[in-house]
Structure 1
Amino acid sequence: MTLLDTRPGDEVTIDTARAGRGAMRRLWDLGLLPGTKVKTVAAHPFRGPILVRVGECTVAVGRKLASRIYVTK
């Protein structure tokens, strides 16, 4: 299951990500690391970003990148 498959209100744990060096750096900067628990806040329609809560912060993740972040419930 990927982050893109989650629905608002879902709480998941990041397992791994399959992305290039730049995208991995962005995930690191956002705090989206393996083992991190996140909560999906919103999934904007029309190809908008996925909003997830990481700790006390809400961050936007593009759909393409979200489809490369593997999570478990």
Structure 2
Amino acid sequence: MLINAAVLAIWAFGLGNIAVAYPGVWGAIAAWTLGILVVSHTAETLFVRKGIKAAKTPFWPTVLASLVFGHAHNRRYL
């Protein structure tokens, strides 16, 4: 649960730059963080999609959790 809270805080930091432009280097860090999160979590979700399809849990909520939480959620499918 602590890892999920940390991931959500990182998402909030990255998305916060879209709502309120951070000054200076913080804006660049937030933009890169958001880009890395989007690319890495999308790639990881595509990597474990067969495991997600085979799971007995509902497909779309599991895909959404995979996109948001990444490895913290997907480690059960590896």
- TM-score scaled by structure 2? 0.25
Greater relative contact order structure (CA < 8 Å, 6+ sep):
1
More strand by share: 1
Q: If you compute each CA radius of gyration, which structure gives the higher value, 1 or 2?
A: 2
- TM-score scaled by structure 1? 0.26
More helix by share: 2
